[in-house]
Chains A and B, each alone.
Chain A
């Protein structure tokens, strides 16, 4: 008798979970409000956003620019140095990140990891111009490939930052 119940338990548990999965959308099952993304945005030294509900996230990935909405297909994207725009009912919040990864999960949870991120208003435009000139000087005077490539990485970041700052002031 007990043998039968032991073998039956796993089977009914499986049947129960399959029925649940076929009845609800993933976002409803986890508690994310319908049509909302749940964002976790973390840096090594700071948790910028934890379980924050937004409507849309625009980011710049190596594979192209993405606009992520709730129930987006799960994906892992490597981020380019660029602006991440968090759009919610209260408006849009922009951060410039140095790079990182965005991981979209099946339950409308979006995890973004970056090493450095600043709001655009925390960036000093003059410092960007000065550093861009410095990196360009380094690129032309560098003798080895690695230093040249390091300078090219910085130039790409500073140019992207400059256009982000200009776009904001429009």
Chain B
């Protein structure tokens, strides 16, 4: 039995983090500060070209909400 997410090219790590992020968004506001500490644990990848660093971006994250620009 193949999962739908597997057939479109997603792996289990991506699937489980999408579900985890979806659930985190629904927690009550009082818990959100604790949750924010957890969300920051992503691996950031910065691509270097000709001596200049590109913007560090979280590696292989499937975004389902538009991230606010800093």
On A, residues with C-beta under 8 Å from B are 45, 81, 96-100, 115-116, 118, 122-124, 127-128, 131, 134-135, 138, 145-154, 157-158, 161
Contact = CB atoms under 8 A, between A and B. Distances in A.
Nearest to B13: A115
Q: Please report whether the interface of chain B is mostly helix, strand, loop or mixed according to DSSP.
A: helix
B57 to A, nearest CB: 17
Given A123-B27, A124-B28, A149 B20 contact: no
Contacts of A45: 38
Interface residues on B, range: 20 to 34
B5 to A, nearest CB: 5
A145 B19 CA distance: 17
A146 B9 contact: yes
A118 B38 CA distance: 14
A127 B24 CA distance: 10
B51 to A, nearest CB: 33
A115 B17 contact: yes
Contacts of B17: 115
